[in-house]
Every structure is written in C-alpha cells, then in structure tokens.
Amino acid sequence: MQEHHSPAAPAPDEGGADNLRPRGSNQTGMRQFNERVVLQAIRLHGSLPKADLARLTTLSTQTVALIIARLADDGLVMKLEPLRGKIGQPSVPIALKPDGAFSIGVKIGRRSLDVLLLDFTNTVRMRHSQAYRFPDPQQVFQVIAGQVRAMQAALAPELRGRILGIGVAAPLSLGSWQELMGVAGQAGLWNRLDIAQRIESDTGLPVMFAKDTAAACVAELVAGRGRSVKSFLYLFVDTFIGGGLVIDSNLYAGLHGNAGAVGSLPVGVAAPDGKAPAQLLSTASLLGLERLYEEAGLDPAAAYDERATQAPWAGHSARWLEQAAAAIAMAVSSASCMLDPEGVIIDGSCSRALLDQLMVAVTGALDRYNWEGVQRPAVHTGSIGSDARALGGALLPLYANFAPDRELFLKLDA
C-alpha cells in the first residue's frame, strides 16, 4: 500500500471557490446544520479564521466561536499557528483535523479493483490496486474484505471507530456488454449480486453505492475543476467510456440514475434497413485501444499506462485517438445543443500523456463543427485521474455525515 497526498484546498480568493459559499442560519434548532455549514466552508476554502468563517457563512461571530469549540471537542477541527503581522490580535486559522473522520472508497471496474482510505481532509492515506481481465466476484469480495481489515488495523485503535463507512463505485451494468468483453459466463454472475449488501455483510461497515462514472463526477465536482465550473458534462474514458452531469454545482442523476450516460449515445443515425448506429462506447472506449494492441501482438494493458504513447504502441494509439476524438466531439456537440453547459470535463483511467493527446484531438475535432446558434463549451482536462471513481466513492460517507442538506437550506452564490 502507498501513501498519497492530495492537493490542499484553495484559499477563498482563488479561482472560482467563491462559487460555493455555504450559508448558515441563526435560527434555533439548527445546531447540527450550522456545524455542517462551518465544516463545509473550511472544506471548500481551506483553513480560515473565525471572522472569515462568520463572513462566509453569514453566521454571527459568537455562533461560529461556539461551533468551533464544539467541533474541536469532537476532534473534527484544529487551530493552526496564529497569523501575525496585522493590526490587532493575531488571527488563528481553523482547519479540518485529518484524523477527524475516515472513509473507505472501493472501485470495482471491468479491468481493475481499487480500495483506498480517505481522511477528513480528502487525503488518500492508503490504497490497494489490483488488475484483472475481468472481475471474479468471489475473489473481488475477498480482496475488499481483506483490505478493509488491513486499513482498520493500520489506524491507531482510538481512530478505528472514526471510519464512517464504505463508498462503492461500480458500473450499474457490470454484467452488460458481455459480447464486447468476451466474458459472458463471468459477467452474468454480477447481474445476480447486491454488491453493497455483500460488502456490508463482509465488513460490518455501512455501505453506500454509486454508479462508477457518477462517483468519478462527484470527485471532480468536490475536489477538482467542479469547484470553479458550476455546470458541466463529465466524461470518463475507461474500459467503457461513461459520464455524469452537473447542473448548478449539483450532480444530476435523472429519473433512472443514468443522466450523463454518454457511453450509450449514438454516433450516427439509424439506417433505413433498421441497423442501429454504433454507440459512443464502441468507438471511444479503452477497450477499443486494447483490441488494436492485441491485433498487433502487443500487451493490451498498455492502454492504461505510459506505454500507450511510446513505441511500438504509439502508432496504434494514434489510430484510436483519431476515431475516439471524432466520436467524443460529436457527443459534446449534441450535448451542447441540449444542455448548454458551461464546460465539458474529460478524464480517464489512461495515462495523462494519452489523455493530453486525446484533449488535443478532441479540440481539433470540435473545430470542424458548425457552432452557429449554440455556444461552444470550454473543454477541460479532469484533475483527478484514475483515482476518481474510488475517491468519489469514499466521499459519499463523508458528505452523508458532514455536508449540509442543500435541498432544505444551503444556498450557493452565483
């Protein structure tokens, strides 16, 4: 297992962080809500003195002081060194305490499994990754249970009770597209399983479940470019490409939880003979790149690492990039006409070098479209990478326990 440190939260005056300004209430009976508002303000803006927290949350200075005292007693926040050099008393920044709470994120993918331990500051403390050709349910659940026990054991005894739960990210249809994967027998096993229930039974911890690409979208929304881009279409290039949709800083799930399911978008029109057009996932997924490598007698696993941009894989990658970029550009154009998003964010489980090449190719493909009558969205590279799905899963228990209920009270400034 490896240690990894995530980037710190930006200061209040950086970028678009002020797009997310949690507002508290001075009404009675709002103690827990106000505590969560203060925690969210620190999470979004980084360490802040009490006066700044009061300004951001519109709570009174006295209320903020009482909340900070309670949160400190609960081990959720801590005081940093005083900031000196200004007129008057030195201000003391308040920060989230890393050991205040923990969450475990699990990503079950078609090509790999990731299990990571996340602390209260969104820093990955431990991780385990395992690659496979296709996940065997029995082996996957054994590894997950073993890694959860290992992560619990790695924490000091007094901290183990601060693990809030497990967030699982996996495709809603892990057993679908069996013919494309060439694993019909194994894939069918997943269709009969309740993944969350099984992991909860194996570990004894509460489990939350999210579609893998929705979880990745949550990670980008909370810890990546979503802090400055309020409405965006999110694409994640994986074994099968997928995505998510964020509207006004909210993940939009849709009636069946499939909003942003770009992989199923047609990349053409139905033929008069009734033949259905190909879907985006058949053209812009890393599975297609794997196939090109296999046909050339090369290791298909290179689709997920730095070899993809090196000889002898690079030439085959160039072929895939051309067709993938054209299909993604078509999807972006269609989505722009329907949704008018502020931006499009593209990330993936491939190497950053290959993703950078894909971004250049997508931009070039978008240049060939007629944008009359519609606003062309800015296209951004995702900032999380292959950890996005497991990180998004781990964020679910943290936010369920500590984020304010936006539907009832929380306002986000424009």
Q: What is the dihedral of CA 191, 180, 216, 278, to 10 degrees?
A: -120
pLDDT of 23 above 60 = no
Region 132-147 average pLDDT: 94
CA–CA distance, 300 with 288 (Å, rounded to integer): 10
Region 7-18 average pLDDT: 39
CA–CA distance, 258 with 245 (Å, rounded to integer): 9
Tens-place pLDDT, residues 291-321: 999 999 999 999 999 999 999 999 999 999 9
Region 326-348 average pLDDT: 96
Q: pLDDT class for 229, splitting at 50, 70, 90? A: very high
pLDDT of 178 above 90 = no
Q: pLDDT class for 22, splitting at 50, 70, 90? A: low
CATH top class, domain 225-383: alpha beta
CA–CA distance, 317 with 290 (Å, rounded to integer): 9
Predicted TM-score of the model (pTM): 0.85
Using alpha carbons only, give the angle 241, 247, 250 rounded to the nearest 5 degrees: 95
pLDDT of residue 406: 47
CB 181 within 8 A of CB 287: yes
pLDDT of 243 above 50 = yes
- Can you tell me whether residue 299 is helix, strand or coil? coil
Mean pLDDT over all residues of the chain?
88
CA–CA distance, 132 with 280 (Å, rounded to integer): 24
Q: Which of 79, 22, 55 is nearest to 249 (CA)?
A: 22
Question: Does 17-96 carry CATH code 1.10.10.10?
Answer: yes
pLDDT of residue 274: 82
pLDDT of 409 above 80 = no
Q: What is the dihedral of CA 143, 147, 148, 151, to 10 degrees?
A: 180
Q: pLDDT class for 18, splitting at 50, 70, 90? A: very low
Protein fold of 100-216+390-401: Nucleotidyltransferase; domain 5 (3.30.420)
Parallel/antiparallel/unpaired status of strands 163-170 and 207-211: parallel
Question: CATH 1.10.10.10 spans which residues of the chain?
Answer: 17-96
Tens-place pLDDT, residues 380-393: 999 999 999 999 99
Q: pLDDT class for 186, splitting at 50, 70, 90? A: low
pLDDT of 19 above 70 = no
pLDDT of 6 above 60 = no
The one-letter code for the residue type at 386 is: S
pLDDT of 174 above 90 = no
Q: pLDDT class for 238, splitting at 50, 70, 90? A: very high
pLDDT of 38 above 50 = yes
CB 349 within 8 A of CB 237: yes
pLDDT of residue 88: 64
Question: CATH 3.30.420.40 spans which residues of the chain?
Answer: 100-216+390-401, 225-383
